[in-house]
Amino acid sequence: MKGLKKILLGILITLCVALLAMVVFSPYKRQDGFNYKLVKHTLVINAPVDSVFRFLGNSDNARKWSVYVHHISTLNSDEVKDGLPGSIRRAFCTADEKGQRWDELVTIVEPNKRRQLITYDYIDFSMTAEGLATEQIYQAIDANTSQLTFTLFFKDHKPTLFEKLKMNFAAYVVLDIYEKNMDNIKRIVETGK
């Protein structure tokens, strides 16, 4: 019986240490230039900043570069042009539009500098959080080179302890998706393929 208790205690301690390490080393953290915690990935693209900005402002291009989203449909394009403030989009993870999906509202657009979207109405996700926003941050390095940054953070919402924990764990998946998506964006914008 004592041996079983020691094994169970050892397993429990190992799990606690592993969970603590996942939180401590999570990509959801404070980053230079931001006064809040976020997930962030940055990439240099050999293309003018306006080309990158225009490419990402077209929701139809998501099917070309996203490894997670199959396609994005604009919901109010008769009222607001895609990619501009007030544009509402629905992101679908499958071609048949069943399963995971969410909506996005474009809230801020600073041409060739920044685009911010609020995400909401998550369907078929095992974990979700309220008040999430994402930004695309653009910086011209020179006439033919730009830097693109994707971020995910809580906006105008004080997350609960449980939401913070979920974000610490989900950040690993989000960062992996950002890295793959941005590699695709870089390839497509640089080569056209």
Query: What confidence tens digit (pLDDT) does each residue in 129-158 have?
Result: 889 999 999 999 999 999 999 999 999 889
Single pTM value for the model:
0.91
Structure confidence by residue, pLDDT tens digits, 31-46: 999 999 999 999 999 9
Reported CATH class of domain 2-191: alpha beta
HEC string of 57-102 equals HCHHHHHHHCCCCCEEEECCCCCCCCCCCCCEEEEECCCCCCCCEE
Q: Crossing angle, helix 161-191 and helix 49-57, to 10 degrees?
A: 120
CA angle 48, 104, 44 (to 5 degrees): 25
**At 167, is the secondary structure helix, strand, or coil?**
helix
